[in-house]
Amino acid sequence: MSAGLLFAGNCMAENYEFTHRQIVASPINNTAPQLFLFNSKGQLIHYSDSYLQNILSIFRKREVLPNSEQSKSDLLTLLNTKVDFSAHDYTLFHTSIDEAIGPCEPCRQQEEKIALLDAKFPKDKLSIHKITIINEVYTLKD
């Protein structure tokens, strides 16, 4: 795994990169785009595994999803990190397929919607983390 940091205002968002093989081996679904929205208590209040056009609607949800703790555990196992959910009102993780792998129109559409969210929400209210599925590089040995 490689993780890069993206600084935006007073919020620090992580960009995670995993190969397809790593995603398949992980406990989360092998699909993109996916959205995981957590409240400030670290409870999963929205999950989707397809393009979501009306992304603002997920912020109206207040009920914790069934298996919230297991879904959070699965995601954090993949990321191999701790997340301070209390630092923001909402924490959003989204998966996307890197363009180097091939076209993923739903991924690009979801990224556009997420960019609008990023511009709309104050930085102390929403933390956005991107999980990108990247090409695996093979090295042939003689």
Q: How far is residue 25 from each of residues 1, 22, 34, 140, measured CA to CA in Å?
A: 13, 5, 17, 23
Tokens for 86? Answer: 């209390």
Cα angle for residues 104, 4, 20 (degrees, 5° grid)? 40
Q: Per-domain residue ranges for the chain?
A: 20-97+106-134
* pLDDT, tens only, 67-92: 899 999 999 999 998 899 999 999 99
Asked whether the beta carbons of 55 and 61 are under 8 A apart, the reply is no
Dist CA 17 CA 2 (whole Å): 6
* pLDDT, tens only, 123-142: 889 999 999 999 887 777 76
**Residue 21 CA, distance from chain mean position:** 18
What's the predicted TM-score (pTM) here?
0.85
